[in-house]
Amino acid sequence: MKKETYGFRPKSEQAAELVDRIHRINWFSAVGSPNADVEREINQFTKLLKVKQPNIEWVSLKDIPETISTFNVTGSDVWEVLYHLPDRIAEESKWTGRMDIIDELVYHMPELVYVKAFDKAFTVFSDEKTVAFVSTHVMYVSVLACLWEALSDRKGWAENPFNSIITILEAGYFPIGPNGSKFLIC
């Protein structure tokens, strides 16, 4: 097993590959330019979550602060699934004896993601609240992606919907998330 430059190697090989992908992300490098491939990834994400396809709305870079200040997940089918996901992951992890893997990812991933995302967000977004929101948001999504991946050999966990979100992040975009019946992207 190779020694990683970011200080840890997940015990889960499934998660290790995803951690490597996340570590290489050039955060927010393409925000503000609509892209059809990104929209397809959002549709794939919601399909794998088994929720209705949302209306996708692109938010301009200048409109991000206002959008975030009025952001509301109420009434979102996507949020209804995501809200319960940490409990489902914890339950499956306990049942399969993988809490050590989950604990390791929860401990290391926030630092791995947050610092790089924050530094880049600070140069891309002008508003302090926006910088805090996007940095925390991508950290949380990255952790969920890796936790899901650590369970991907289990029945019902084989297809990780967060791979689509990571693909979007790798392309330099910011998936803001569900807002009522819409899914917002910058």
For residue range 147-177, list pLDDT tens digits in order.
999 898 889 999 999 999 999 999 999 999 9
Element (H, E) at 21: helix 13-23
Note the pTM of the prediction, 2 decimals: 0.91
Report pLDDT for 126: 80
Q: What is the reported pLDDT for 3?
A: 39
- 71 exposed, middle or buried (CB, 10 Å; 0-12, 13-18, 19+)? middle
Residues 65-116: tens digit of each pLDDT: 999 999 988 888 999 999 999 999 999 999 988 898 888 889 888 988 999 9
15-70 per-position pLDDT tens digit: 888 988 999 999 999 998 899 999 999 999 999 999 998 899 999 999 999 999 99
Nearest CA-CA partner of 162 in 146, 179, 180, 181: 146
**Rounded Cα gap, residues 113 and 19, in angstroms:** 10
Tally of CB atoms within 10 A around 53: 12
Structure token pair of residue 23? 């570590």
